[in-house]
Structure 1
């Protein structure tokens, strides 16, 4: 297989960028991007570190991030599996990307920028839910904000195909594939309830 290892060779394969794909980029949270981001309860956080990249789903029962001002997004780190891969990466390399989605919309809004972590209770306390607070908050400074063309979601039928989950592996089965003596059935039977109790 031939590979492409030269930018000029890559650019020769493609046409020039569509002009709107360049002019749509904002350097701060504009009123319309604010409206879109505040409607999003789910995003994917991408980070980079010495071991490589990490993509992590993030969700909430309200806006997934809080917009502090037009150059600051606050993303709470709610309870998870404590691998903290994304957080380790941010401490070592602040480059991050966020991909926001809203069910029913074929557009995606992307944010590229830099991030730091804080455990300051003046910040974590702003997110208290059910008497629980996130242990840390990811503070993102956007450098680029833009919407993504709708074609990918339209091609995949992400919001229109219905439930495609029948027959796919369960969480317990994934673990059992790596650890043969793991009790996948009992794990899966209690997993949903366990996840609910650990949500915040």
Structure 2
């Protein structure tokens, strides 16, 4: 087992200077373009109750840029576990990964977050008259792009490599298996498309 930084660095060697140069403390025009084009982010937080990494998605630009050092992320209805929000209350550190379909590079943002339910702020994110429950405000501490190697290796955007949904257990089947048959998975799956549509916002 590798247990020291020195041992780790002996294996990997020094960081590529460009990987350090691309990290800046605020958005620039290039990085703003990635935020504005992204319909999907991964939100990572940590707290005394554990770690969380949650996907959040909407129309491109759903993460609003308030200024070069501040982002606003709407929190739409979900299952009310609110693991990442609980973490932010206890530990404001946050990390975001912006993903754009068809693009290999991703944008990484590290910073500190607070949660707001200010009515004027919520109104900025209205969709069909429906507001998010809260908005996560992120103060940027560092931002940089990540190269495309992971997406090239995984062929993530290659339709020929996409997996048919029917080849994996459905949400209802998973819940039925976990409950050892006490949950009606077939009914859950049958109602899921309409339920999802009705509760998106």
Calculate the TM-score normalised by the size of structure 1: 0.96
Spell out, residue by residue over 1:38-69, the C-alpha distance to the aligned partner (whole angstroms, 9 max, x if none).
00010000000112210000001231300000
State the SS of the aligned residue for 2:167.
coil
Counterpart Cα distance in 2 of 1:96 and 1:177 = 34
Equivalence map 1:23-172=2 (5 Å): 23-162=21-160, 163-165=162-164, 166-172=166-172
Spell out, residue by residue over 1:62-119, the C-alpha distance to the aligned partner (whole angstroms, 9 max, x if none).
3130000001000000011111111000011000000001011011110011000001
- What root-mean-square deviation, in Å, do the aligned CA atoms of Structure 1 and Structure 2 show? 1.0
Q: CA deviation at 1:178?
A: 1.4
State the SS of the aligned residue for 1:129.
coil
Hey, what does 1:173 align to over in structure 2?
173
Hey, what does 1:197 align to over in structure 2?
198
Spell out, residue by residue over 1:149-190, the C-alpha distance to the aligned partner (whole angstroms, 9 max, x if none).
110011001001443134111111121121121111110111
Counterpart Cα distance in 1 of 2:198 and 2:127 = 13
State the SS of the aligned residue for 2:124.
helix
Counterpart Cα distance in 2 of 1:174 and 1:100 = 28
Spell out, residue by residue over 1:11-44, the C-alpha distance to the aligned partner (whole angstroms, 9 max, x if none).
1111211111000011101111001110001000
Contact 1:48 1:95 in 2 (8 A): yes
Contact 1:43 1:64 in 2 (8 A): no
How many residues are treated as equivalent by the alignment? 198
Contact 1:56 1:86 in 2 (8 A): yes
Task: List structure 1 runs of 4+ shifted beyond 2 angstroms.
Answer: none
Counterpart Cα distance in 1 of 2:185 and 2:51 = 29
Calculate the TM-score normalised by the size of structure 2: 0.96
